[in-house]
């Protein structure tokens, strides 16, 4: 089997180790989905996604096709190979239980079973615990299908949350532990707990990062760090 496909309900969490060269495509099936994502190096779990460096080294606030997602060791976890939504943010973090309860009310497992009001913070912790990680290992996350903007006073607002049929494909430049949830965005303006599912497709065919992701000199240098880490043939002489 060279591919795998599933659908993750809203308010759920999921994790998997993606191998170098494989691709992960996430799809907003019905419109309005939020996907919070974290990345870790499975060989050294102290190496994890670094949101500030990801934005700073590519001189951007939004993330879309052609951008790469960096670790705190200056290596590229993955590149955004395809993106039909056009804007993903990595500055707002994830909602905790208190925020979800304040916005949507209390709904626990005893009341609603799998339809309870899950929050992103606890969902991340559940998945992280499977790999021996905990609160201190949490990092600023990536929120896919979330378009945020700042007003003149610097206040952030969620401008657009998902779009039916929109998808984003991540091509991995190193083995990567992917942790994700489908809980509401912390700036969500929904009045009822969102119930939109997330489509997940894994392509096991191994390919290098696309040329689009390497148009920026910064990303070429980042990939040199990957080459050194892997001691792979063709490593550039940076």
pTM of the predicted model as reported, rounded to 2 decimal places? 0.95
- pLDDT-based confidence at residue 232 (cuts at 50, 70, 90): low
Which pLDDT tens digit goes with each residue over 114-134?
A: 889 999 999 999 999 999 999
Domain ranges of the chain: 3-230
**What distance in Å separates the CA atoms of residue 200 and residue 35, rounded to the nearest whole number?**
11
What average pLDDT does this structure show over 67-95? 98
Where would I find the beta strands (DSSP E) of the chain?
Answer: 3-8, 13-18, 23-28, 35-41, 44-48, 68-70, 76-83, 142-144, 146-150, 156-161, 167-172, 176-181, 198-203
Q: What are the structure tokens assigned to 161, written together?
A: 């949350």
**What distance in Å separates the CA atoms of residue 37 and residue 179, rounded to the nearest whole number?**
6
What average pLDDT does this structure show over 28-34? 98
What average pLDDT does this structure show over 170-197? 97
Nearest to 133 by CA among 65, 45, 38: 45
pLDDT(238) > 80: no
What average pLDDT does this structure show over 63-87? 98
- pLDDT-based confidence at residue 60 (cuts at 50, 70, 90): very high
């Amino acid at each position: 089997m060279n591919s795998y496909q599933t659908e993750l309900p809203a308010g759920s969490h999921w994790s998997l180790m993606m191998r170098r060269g494989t691709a992960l495509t996430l799809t907003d099936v019905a419109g309005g989905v939020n996907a919070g994502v974290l990345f870790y190096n499975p060989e050294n779990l102290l190496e994890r996604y670094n949101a500030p460096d990801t934005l700073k080294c590519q001189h951007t606030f939004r993330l879309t096709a052609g951008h790469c997602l960096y670790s705190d060791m200056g290596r590229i976890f993955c590149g955004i190979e395809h993106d039909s939504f056009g804007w993903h943010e990595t500055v707002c973090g994830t909602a905790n239980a208190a925020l979800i309860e304040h916005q949507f009310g209390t709904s626990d497992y005893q009341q609603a079973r799998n339809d309870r009001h899950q929050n992103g913070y606890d969902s991340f912790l559940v998945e992280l615990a499977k790999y021996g990680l905990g609160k201190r290992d949490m990092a600023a996350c990536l929120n896919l299908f979330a378009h945020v903007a700042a007003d003149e006073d610097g206040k952030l607002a969620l401008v657009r949350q998902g779009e039916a049929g929109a998808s984003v494909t991540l091509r991995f430049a190193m083995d990567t532990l992917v942790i994700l949830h489908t809980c509401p965005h912390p700036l969500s303006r929904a009045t009822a707990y969102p119930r939109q599912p997330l489509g997940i497709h894994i392509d096991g065919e191994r390919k290098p990062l696309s040329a689009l992701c390497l148009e920026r000199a910064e990303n070429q240098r980042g990939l040199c760090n990957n080459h050194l880490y892997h001691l792979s043939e063709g490593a550039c002489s940076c």
